[in-house]
Structure 1
Amino acid sequence: MKRTQSRKKRAKQAQPRKVYHAFSSWRYVFVSVAITVIAVLLISRLAYIQVIEPEYLTKEADKRSLRVTKSVTHRGNISDRNGEELAISVPAYAIWVDPKAVKAAYAFNDEEWQASAVENARTGKVKYKKAKFFESKKWPALAEVLGIKLEKLVKIVRRPNARFVYLKRQVNIPIVDYVKQLKLAGIANQLESHRYYPTGEINANIIGLTDLDAQGIEGIEKSYNTYLQGQTGKKRVRKDRLGNVIDDIEVLKIKKAAGNLQLSIDQRIQAVAYSELKRAVKMNKATSGSIVVLDVHTGEIYAMANFPSFNPNDRSQYQPYKMRNRAITDTFEPGSTVKPFVVASALVYKKVGIDEIINTSPGRMSLGGRIVRDARNYGKIDLAMILKKSSNMGVSKLALRLKASKLQQTFADFGLGNDTGIGLIGESVGRLPIRHRWSDFELSTMSFGYGITATTLQIAKAYAILGSGGKRFPLTILKTDNPGEGEQVIPRNIALEVVHMMEGVSKKGGTARKAKVEGYRIAGKTGTSRKAEAGGYGDDYVAIFAGLAPASNPRFSIVVMINEPQGDRYYAGDVAAPVFSSVMQSALLLSHVRPDAEDTRYTLLDQLNDAQ
């Protein structure tokens, strides 16, 4: 037994032992190669970044931290000559949506769900579990408060890649507060500026308006857009992950403060002018009307009103034809309002004496087979009576003495056919035909305002030249303390003589008794012209009254134009003259101009004669 155990033990000891190796060469090679490759890649990448593209990381960091911030400049204010605000900028808000954020919050991607989205929102019955977007009535409430159809709102928020879409702009604070209370994902607001016009429709045609981005699109807002807008400042800054500015890098654009405009308009006179014009247009069932009030010694415009107008604070009223500043855009044949210029021209070129009598009998004459006539036979009359009775025969005979070139030159000197220099967009220059050959009839009709066209402002400027003693001042819509000397275009004594002649228009037997102003002498002229149409002249009229006051020392030139008055009362003396009277009286009283009643008058013409 022992032998057997011994034999087994020896046999077991004789067998070779198994050897377990702790080192594996292929694994070593694999790990070594892997580490080497990774190290080479890292070193290569590091070398690439540091040597070949050293700016890469800097750029990546800048993408995440550099931002451009804006320093917004609010649009400048517009005020009248006394400081009353006519246009101001007030805070407003824009409501906007981030469709991507809405999608992330509500996880909508089911096409069938999309198709039934609006129906789900309206009925409140949710067919799909994913429709968290419609489980609340907040979205329909948002659409309602913003005045947006729910279908449109759904369409906006379903834009796949959009990050910023306006829902409503120019909204007030209560609406913003209501939207905040809804606590809808992806809905935000931002502060912007809203243009407000305190005087509404009274100044709408001249002030104009801005668009939603505060850019002027009409009137003074457009003409002076660059000055009123200023310049928004921009600078590059570095922000941390919380959005806090930690470093100012550079200024990209220097902020430039917006300018404020002070107009020459006197809002008190402007309000009266607009009210009287509106009343006259409506009473006479006219199509439109315009009025201009000028200071004859400075060229400043104290009032420029038009009707129809609209309230610029309510954009739903906006219609292009209501926006026109008709005083500078609409031209018409001025009719008999140019007759004082014909008389002045005849005196300047010495074609008539100051006391000369003109024979207008028999009240009509034939020129080239056509008839020129007066309302009746006035017989032998002087220059003042020609203007008082508005005699076509009288001015025609003066024009035939002058010839076309001299009359055209006088009209041009008074500003007809030329830009007034006011600097507003949309101004028309009118029409003053310049040609070498004129028939006697054409010359005759031009002398009483046919064949030429002008604007209300041009006629007001021409009368201001008479009122200033023959000086032409550049017109301005801005208040000025230094109007300059003016340019003498006709002799002073002749201008004052013509003004004196025009006083008879508002007296007994004149064409505009209704133009009288209590306590003041006025000098003026009516004009009632037919409107041209294809093939001749139709049955529509333009009624114009132009005048100066006080006649002893004119301060204001006022022109009233009523377009297409209806009914039997279409003459300027009935339609336009009353407007002139009311507005002139208000202008003189508000400007503290002393009365020059008949019994106390001592005119500039008298002073001139005394000096001679």
Structure 2
Amino acid sequence: MKPRQRTSPTARRHAAAPSSRRRMLVMGGVLAVASLALAARAFDMQVVRKDFYQNQADARILREVPIAVSRGTIFDRNGEPLAVSTPVVSIWANPAEVLDNEDKLPALAKAIGMDADALKQYLAQRSEREFVYLKRQMPPDAAQVVLDLGVPGVNGQREFRRFYPSGPVMAHVLGFTNIDDHGQEGLELAFDDWLAGKEGRKRVIRDRQGHVVEDLELVRAPQPGRDITLSIDRRIQFLAYNELKNTIQQSDADSGSIVILDVRTGEVLAMVNWPTYNPNALRGSDPSSRRNRAMTDVVEPGSTIKPFLMAAALSSGKYTPTGPMVDTGNGNFYYISHTIRDTHAYGLLSPTGIIAKSSNIGAAKVAMTLDTGLMSDTYRAFGFGNSTNSGFPGEASGYLKPGKSWGMLEKAILAYGYGLNVTPLQLANGYATIADNGVMHLPTFVKGSDNEPKQIIDPKIANELVQMMVAVTQPGGTGAPYAWIPNYGVAGKSGTAHKATAGGYSKNNYSSAFAGIVPASSPRLAAVVVIDNPRKGSYYGALVSGPVFVKVLDGALRLLDVPPDNIGRWYVGGPLQGQNGLTGTKQPTVETVDDAPVEGATP
């Protein structure tokens, strides 16, 4: 057996040398491969898929954000602001970032007025989103308190909120906007495109907490909303609001409306409804109180329609203001199984007397002598059965049957205001047309906007109608002394109509109206007051609506500096004088309640 040979340390070192070189070579190869891999990855990211990664980075850093714009201001005709936009701040958050800082949730919740647990649940349910609102439209000071908490992921966004200085007084005319400042009702909706403007857009860089650190470029310049000046006179509107509200509350009525027009332009100077609402605090308001009843609700006009019947009668050539006389008998007229009644036995009445005494029988007998086409065309020419085209959202057209379908009884009933329905605005516009020498203007809510006036009836006839209606407010007329304005001549007509119900007409529910023109000698204003179902005191139009007309128009004439036309006299002289004992006494006639066109419906 050979002995084992022992190797020296030197020999062992020489033997290990090739092994170290191999390791170095292997390590070098690994590093080379890794370098190539990194280079390939860098090439892939920076060249092959550059756009993808750039977009991913931009999505986390670059943002295109809106630039809020202020909605245009709405002014009244005298430059008083009616609707303005005020700056507010909406608080928004990235739910995931906020939840990562759960210890700050209680303070955040308290600052925005939420329960901490509810806020946590709200954020957890939306944790996959990057943007959620926490509180919309906070006052800037209150919003700054929230932002000063420094909660990661919580930010503020500047917006605008609509404010209405006149509150419920202007509510039905102006309407309101939603939380995104878009018009929802009224003129805010009608002129939304004009008022809203267009928000701008800009590209910004945000840090990881969502704060803007740099504005990069303006993508689209903001276009602020444009202002608009209405025809409404805020002073007259307040006056009308107070008088209408007081009368409805005192008479325990369901609702009411008043409309006042400038007869020379068709401009709406005031439009008020009750009940109303506060557009600054919509939550909890009754939706029915938001209706602009002067535009959307219709009524049967009762005796307020009689001047338009007389317009047809005078146009026919068969009648003048003084004749021929019409025999109204003993106050009861039986025709085709229907009894038409007056409250008194008036006997012979002139056409002016029929208006002054509000004789249903006289109106019916005049209508029966007229050509059906002429009567129908006259009603339609004054706008009944068609929208006024005022541009107000939701405006009703009213209803008037085609004339070719009218029978003799229908003509008689239409003569004293049943069988058709109108809006208060339509009725006011009809009276304004008579007042302006028979020229119709489209009603408008914009100051200085008079669109293509149209001659409806002969100016001579229009002037005669005004004088015939003056007789209503003279001694012996149904409007005296309730519709008398000191030192101003008033031409008007009252109307008291039974309200329609399912299957007929109510015996005890009424629509009480007064429509008039002032000053009578040189008309400037036309107005209609409608009170729905007064329960306390009288229900006659002259007694309920007449005083509202007087108080509001008396104030309006003075506010507009309209000179008096009747100084020192109790009434304006007209064609009624000396006829049928209708002058010489200041005792008022009890107003006729216009008979409902069904048996048994009258008192």
Q: Once the two structures are aligned, what percentage of the paired residues are identical?
A: 37
Measured at CA, do residues 246 and 503 of structure 1 come closer, stay the same or move farther in structure 2, by a change above 3 Å? closer
Q: How does 1:142-291 map to 2 (within 5 A)?
A: 142-143=109-110, 146-159=112-125, 160-176=127-143, 178-179=145-146, 187-237=154-204, 243-245=212-214, 247-248=216-217, 251=219, 253-291=220-258
Q: What letter matches 2:301 in structure 1?
A: P
Counterpart Cα distance in 2 of 1:28 and 1:375: 126
Correspondence for 2:366 among 398, 407, 416:
398
Determine if contact 1:351/1:398 at 8 Å carries over to the other structure.
Answer: no
Q: Which residue of 2 aligns with 1:74?
A: 70
Correspondence for 1:547 among 516, 519, 529:
516
Q: Which residue of 2 aligns with 1:318?
A: 285
Measured at CA, do residues 479 and 428 of structure 1 come closer, stay the same or move farther in structure 2, by a change above 3 Å? same
Ranges in structure 1 where 5+ consecutive residues have no aligned partner = 1-7, 107-131, 607-612
Matching of residue 441 in structure 1 with residue 409 in structure 2? yes
CA deviations over 1:166-194 (Å, ceiling 9, x no partner): 33333334533554566656554433222
Q: 1:35 deviation in Å?
A: 4.5
Measured at CA, do residues 501 and 105 of structure 1 come closer, stay the same or move farther in structure 2, by a change above 3 Å? same
Determine if contact 1:264/1:477 at 8 Å carries over to the other structure.
Answer: yes
**Which range moves more in the overlay, 23-32 or 61-70?**
23-32
Determine if contact 1:553/1:604 at 8 Å carries over to the other structure.
Answer: no
The alignment's TM-score, normalised by the length of structure 1, stands at 0.85
Correspondence for 2:421 among 435, 438, 453:
453
Determine if contact 1:460/1:558 at 8 Å carries over to the other structure.
Answer: yes
Q: 1:543 deviation in Å?
A: 0.4
Q: Which residue of 1 aligns with 2:309?
A: 342
Measured at CA, do residues 237 and 192 of structure 1 come closer, stay the same or move farther in structure 2, by a change above 3 Å? closer
Measured at CA, do residues 17 and 69 of structure 1 come closer, stay the same or move farther in structure 2, by a change above 3 Å? closer
Determine if contact 1:197/1:313 at 8 Å carries over to the other structure.
Answer: yes
Q: 1:319 deviation in Å?
A: 1.7
Q: Which residue of 2 aligns with 1:113?
A: none
Determine if contact 2:414/2:420 at 8 Å carries over to the other structure.
Answer: yes
Measured at CA, do residues 47 and 75 of structure 1 come closer, stay the same or move farther in structure 2, by a change above 3 Å? same
Q: 1:346 deviation in Å?
A: 1.2
**Which range moves more in the overlay, 564-573 or 435-444?**
435-444
Q: What letter matches 1:23 in structure 2?
A: P
Measured at CA, do residues 435 and 472 of structure 1 come closer, stay the same or move farther in structure 2, by a change above 3 Å? closer
Determine if contact 1:89/1:194 at 8 Å carries over to the other structure.
Answer: yes
Correspondence for 2:528 among 537, 559, 562:
559
Q: Which residue of 2 aligns with 1:297?
A: 264
Determine if contact 1:292/1:457 at 8 Å carries over to the other structure.
Answer: yes
Matching of residue 430 in structure 1 with residue 398 in structure 2? yes
CA deviations over 1:132-171 (Å, ceiling 9, x no partner): 568xx746xx44x644345533422443434443333333
Report the structure, 1 or 2, having the larger helix content: 1
Q: 1:315 deviation in Å?
A: 2.9
Q: CA RMSD in A?
A: 3.0
Q: Which residue of 1 aligns with 2:582?
A: none
Measured at CA, do residues 14 and 429 of structure 1 come closer, stay the same or move farther in structure 2, by a change above 3 Å? closer
Counterpart Cα distance in 1 of 2:302 and 2:180: 44
Determine if contact 1:312/1:318 at 8 Å carries over to the other structure.
Answer: no
Determine if contact 1:472/1:489 at 8 Å carries over to the other structure.
Answer: yes
CA deviations over 1:9-56 (Å, ceiling 9, x no partner): xx9899995542423475466446534543543454455456644534
Counterpart Cα distance in 2 of 1:43 and 1:203: 72
Counterpart Cα distance in 1 of 2:466 and 2:215: 73
What SS does the corresponding residue of 2:320 show, helix, strand or coil? coil
Q: 1:309 deviation in Å?
A: 1.0
Correspondence for 2:58 among 32, 55, 62:
62
What SS does the corresponding residue of 2:82 show, helix, strand or coil? strand
Measured at CA, do residues 31 and 368 of structure 1 come closer, stay the same or move farther in structure 2, by a change above 3 Å? same
Q: What letter matches 1:477 in structure 2?
A: F
What SS does the corresponding residue of 2:548 show, helix, strand or coil? helix
Q: 1:59 deviation in Å?
A: 3.2
**Which range moves more in the overlay, 279-288 or 311-320?**
311-320
Determine if contact 1:368/1:439 at 8 Å carries over to the other structure.
Answer: no
Matching of residue 373 in structure 1 with residue 369 in structure 2? no
Q: 1:368 deviation in Å?
A: 1.6
Q: What letter matches 1:569 in structure 2?
A: S
Ranges in structure 2 where 5+ consecutive residues have no aligned partner = 576-603
Q: Which residue of 1 aligns with 2:564?
A: 595
Q: How does 1:455-474 map to 2 (within 5 A)?
A: 455-474=423-442
Determine if contact 1:552/1:601 at 8 Å carries over to the other structure.
Answer: no
Measured at CA, do residues 51 and 161 of structure 1 come closer, stay the same or move farther in structure 2, by a change above 3 Å? closer
Q: Which residue of 1 aligns with 2:18?
A: 23
Q: 1:588 deviation in Å?
A: 0.8
Determine if contact 2:320/2:351 at 8 Å carries over to the other structure.
Answer: no
Q: What letter matches 2:307 in structure 1?
A: P
Q: Which residue of 2 aligns with 1:306?
A: 273
Q: 1:394 deviation in Å?
A: 1.3
Counterpart Cα distance in 1 of 2:460 and 2:572: 12
What SS does the corresponding residue of 1:532 show, helix, strand or coil? strand
Q: How does 1:112-151 map to 2 (within 5 A)?
A: 132=103, 138=107, 142-143=109-110, 146-151=112-117
Counterpart Cα distance in 1 of 2:171 and 2:7: 120
Determine if contact 2:440/2:455 at 8 Å carries over to the other structure.
Answer: yes
Determine if contact 1:547/1:559 at 8 Å carries over to the other structure.
Answer: yes
**Which range moves more in the overlay, 306-315 or 349-358?**
349-358
Counterpart Cα distance in 1 of 2:117 and 2:215: 44
Q: 1:593 deviation in Å?
A: 0.7
The alignment's TM-score, normalised by the length of structure 2, stands at 0.86
Measured at CA, do residues 190 and 392 of structure 1 come closer, stay the same or move farther in structure 2, by a change above 3 Å? same
Matching of residue 585 in structure 1 with residue 554 in structure 2? yes
Counterpart Cα distance in 2 of 1:201 and 1:344: 38
Q: Which residue of 2 aligns with 1:412?
A: 380
Q: 1:313 deviation in Å?
A: 2.0
What SS does the corresponding residue of 1:280 show, helix, strand or coil? helix
Counterpart Cα distance in 2 of 1:13 and 1:180: 80
Structure showing greater radius of gyration is 1
What SS does the corresponding residue of 1:292 show, helix, strand or coil? strand
